Amino acid sequence: MHHVKTAIFLAILTAILIGLGGALGGKTGMIIALALAGGMNFLAYWYSDRIVLSMYGAQEVGPVEAPELYSIVAELARRANIPMPRVYIIPTEAPNAFATGRSPQHAAVAATSGILRILTRDELMGVMAHEIGHVLHRDTLIATIAATIAGAVSMLANWLQWAVLFGMGRSDDEEGPGLAGGILMAIIAPIAAALVQMAVSRSREYLADEAGAQLSGKPLALASAKLHQATHMIPMDANPATAHLFIVNPLSGRSLANLFSTHPPVEERIARLRAMAI
């Protein structure tokens, strides 16, 4: 079900992008919009993992530097039948973790030093199983595509505002959206794209929770992880553009409506995990 939702959400995002391109420059604008999205996704596909790991100062570790974390990831990768991901530690006391990489063959998982300090082995296994679930389902690639298309929509919407105001864009033989319509579209499209992007992220989090519970065999361990409370106590200086990557929203200390959240409600996630243990 979550896979079907994701496909629908990505189709909606693409439609919004093409619609903006059409409003900006007719058929030519649609082609430009698709080319822009394709180019941005190509760059994101190859470089997003390096960028995000560098952004948080993540340090690669092996069995000597982090024996427990490394052995847990190795065991989970074996159970999931995927290559061993690279393992990183982020030097911050804020408890969190994420996975990145375009495919299971090019994956990396990262945990903060804070999460290693506060979780039991079972809880840490539950958290890392969630991240391996993301790797298994290529969620990082899907989330990156969604974020990239949403970013392209915002860029085109900004161009559309200026094009409408200065009478540029479509040729004379093509009907334009008009001043009011163009401005309205430029305002609504980025909001709609952001809502769809957040919905993609929330859907993939549920899927990773399920996969993590199955891989670890201990859904209650992930449910009992003290991450949500600890995140409020020790906030993380995170870039909002990367919030969707983390197991719990690093921005959760701020007031966010559910529709604009990259993560489902913690209470709902815990309830689903506990139901899996029955």
The residues carrying an active-site annotation are 131
Cα dihedral 68, 70, 71, 75 sign: positive
Question: Dihedral of the CA atoms 236, 239, 241, 247 (nearest 10)?
Answer: -20
Parallel, antiparallel, or unpaired for β 97-100 and 86-90?
A: unpaired
Sheet holding 108-112, edge to edge: 59-61, 86-90, 108-112, 97-100
- The string of DSSP letters for 83-108 reads PPPEEEEE--SS--EEEE-SSGGG-E
Phi then psi for 64, rounded to 5 degrees?
A: -80, -45
